[in-house]
Structure 1
Amino acid sequence: MVFLVAFFGLRPMVASLTRTAEAQNPSFDEVQRSLPTPEAAAAETEALPQPRSNPLEDLRRKLKPAPQERLARMVDLNEERTALILRKWAHQEAAG
Structure 2
Amino acid sequence: MAMNSNAVNANLVQREEEIKELVDVSRRELLRLPSPSFTIGQTWSLPRSSWKKRARSKGRELFERERRSLESAGLENKEHEELVFRFGAMETGPKVSPWSP
Does the pair score TM above 0.5?
no
Q: TM-score, normalised by structure 1?
A: 0.29
Q: TM-score, normalised by structure 2?
A: 0.28
Higher helix share: 1
- Structure with greater Cα Rg: 1
